[in-house]
Amino acid sequence: MVDGSPNVTTTNAGIPVGSDEHSLTVGRDGPVVLHDAYLIEKMAHFNRERVPERVVHAKGSGAYGTFRVTNDVSEFTCADLFQPGRETRMLARFSTVAGEMGSPDTWRDPRGFALKFYTRQGNYDMVGNNTPVFFIRDPQKFQDFIRSQKRHPQTGLRNNTMQWDFWSLSPESAHQVTWLMGDRGVPKDWRHMDGFSSHTYQWINAEGERVWVKYRFVTDQGNDFLTQEEADRLAGQDADRHRRDLFEAIERGEYPSWTLQVQIMPLEDAATYRFNPFDLTKVWPFGDYPPIEVGRMTLNENPSNHFIHIEQAAFEPSNLVPGIGPSPDKMLLGRLFSYPDTHRYRIGVNYNELPPNRPESPVRSYSKDGRMRFFEPDTAAVYHPNSYGGPDAARQEGEEQASWRVEAAELVREAYSRHDEDDDFVQPRALIRDVMDEAARERLVSNVSGHVSEVTDDDVLGRALKYWRDIDPEIGERVAAKLNGG
């Protein structure tokens, strides 16, 4: 009996809910369904929590540039922007995740890495981070995660206890937290950090053959970072350090660039791969799927007006051009709804008519009216079907859609099916032992111990220490010793 219990989550209408952990899906591994009313309520409410800045990634800046293909990957995708020799105009925006508009650029936080390509077949957006993984794997938990990283509702202050309370109760966060507490948790500037799609996507070639793909933009400037002490000092001396650096470098003609590499997984590998390839908390080892060069992104044009071109820029992973599609990644499927919905709220239903969002290819849409409508439709016909020459969405011969096979199943709220090596701690442990050198491990211990030292709840502190012992027993003991003055 749950009626009246103060500990049972309810909808905003007071109705008990089935899960705060898992979205409603077609079987364990099928797509998220639109009639999961509680998930939609959480997303829609969350998207409207802040006015007018972005709910997340509020502080950032960016620039225009070009993407030029340097290698032939047409055997994997027919996407226009990835065809041999193609050069495509684009916009990039970099940001911090948790801070507000006025927060320092040098807080320890993941960095957003959002790209918009103005292709011949419409806008293609890749909305990623400077890390290849994320804290959670189900969109049902996203709103709760972000709130745990924001400000305490009573004090209005950032609160490490809230952060560690969530992380220590969500072991899937271990891989991302290890990245966050390591050197790349505070990049020297945006020019010296990599960017990742993080999510798995689907590529389709001209013959309709499909593969799974992950993106990695490798900085041509080389990776560099700030120590915690340097970051803290700069937060007070130059809170806009990263914004200033990018703008001034481009003004000097020192155009930053990144080389795009992709990892390709055959479609049939996914079902039997040793861990779930669509789990956002996991990476694909290069030994299994080596990187393939695609092209180079170069930023060479500062925006003429920051508000028009950066604050009004709307990036959304649902902008997928022919030849590119989504995957069964539950977080990605949730974001396909969440991003355009928050843009409609934040900058208006006609946000795609604003300069940074307007496609350079023709727009033939049946959308009409709404606030701030500017462009007239190409035809007086504003409905389909019609007799007056309006566009027709009928599929072209040979066109293939992104899709994947889902076995017939009941609607359930459950975690992904486990693969043989699915484990929340294996990959962060490998990151510590196989990628970091001893100096980096010592900085990791210092960063973690400094962060958890501000936790004020003994139970949360105990769980945080256990969390690190589960990741790596030696690192966990070194963190505990440093906290105890060792």
pLDDT tens-digit readout, 444-471: 999 999 999 999 999 999 999 999 999 9
pLDDT tens-digit readout, 381-408: 788 888 888 887 756 544 567 888 888 7
Write the CB contacts of 160 (distance below 8 Å, at least 6 apart in sequence).
Answer: 451, 452, 454, 455
Please say if 57 is a catalytic residue. Answer: yes
Write the CB contacts of 464 (distance below 8 Å, at least 6 apart in sequence).
Answer: 164, 167, 168, 452, 455
Looking at CATH, the fold of the domain delimited by 25-358+415-483 is given as Catalase HpII,  Chain A, domain 1 (2.40.180)
pLDDT at 22 over 50: yes
Tokens 């500037």 identify what position?
Answer: 189
- Please give the pLDDT value at position 390: 82
The pTM of the full predicted model, rounded to 2 decimals, is: 0.91
Beta strand segments in 138-244, E? 195-196, 201-204, 210-219
pLDDT tens-digit readout, 324-375: 999 999 999 999 999 999 999 999 989 999 999 999 988 888 888 888 888 8
Catalytic residue among 22, 47, 123, 129: 129
Catalytic residue among 22, 57, 242, 309: 57
- Please give the pLDDT value at position 192: 98
What angle is formed at CA 188 by the lines to CA 233 and CA 282, rounded to 5 degrees?
A: 120
